[in-house]
Chains A and B, each alone.
Chain A
Amino acid sequence: MKPLDVTSLADSIQPLKEHFNSNKAKLRFLALVSPT
């Protein structure tokens, strides 16, 4: 089974920013939620 991929933003939010901008050609949805 493929390992679950959750990117930590503990050191920097840059991975989220890069993901957001790399999908600029698409509609984007961002949710900020608690897991419980």
Chain B
Amino acid sequence: MLGARAVQKVIIQSFPHADISISIVWVNMLPLDSMVTVGFMAKAMQDPRVRHFHDSHKQVGQIIAQSLGGPGKVAWDVYLFYAKGDEWADSLPPPTKWAHQLQDSWIDPAHYHSGDDLIQELDRAMSQLATQDQ
């Protein structure tokens, strides 16, 4: 939930006029994760730029892991930015900027940001990309 709150605080609330498409994929990873808790969180994160998805089979986590150099792994708690023009053809393209909160050995620790550090990293990335976009 801390990651979702970071997305709400930075991507949605701090940049209300940014021309960005926001996809939030909810995934069941923890014991209390369910469609009920997904519904509660999604309702709290309503914005015309946001679309919510629910991945009950962790398929998206596998696809993202592969795009980050972890074939066969399952990513979650990941935050990815894609540049204009990037297309998802046979595979998801690598992100232009990204962060994660995982402590797994397969994922690049240079992109690890947690808690307030995640909020600051998302803000840095968003500030830079929104400026480039103008």
Binding site for B on A (CB under 8 A): 4-10, 13, 15-17, 19-21, 23-36
Contact = CB atoms under 8 A, between A and B. Distances in A.
A9 B81 contact: no
A24 B24 contact: no
A29 B88 CA distance: 13
A32 B77 contact: yes
Interface of B: 1, 3-4, 7, 11, 18-30, 32-35, 37-43, 51-57, 59-61, 63-64, 75-88, 92, 95, 129-130, 133
Contact of A19 (B1, B21, B35, B63): B21
Contacts of B85: 24-25
A36 B1 contact: yes
Nearest to B64: A32
A27 B87 contact: no
B99 to A, nearest CB: 10
A15 B55 CA distance: 11
A31 B21 CA distance: 11
Contacts, number: 156
Contacts of B78: 31-32
A7 B27 CA distance: 12
Contacts of B40: 35
B52 A34 contact: no
A35 B63 CA distance: 20
Contacts of A7: 51-54
Contacts of A34: 1, 3-4, 26-30, 33, 76-77
Nearest to B51: A19
Nearest to A26: B21
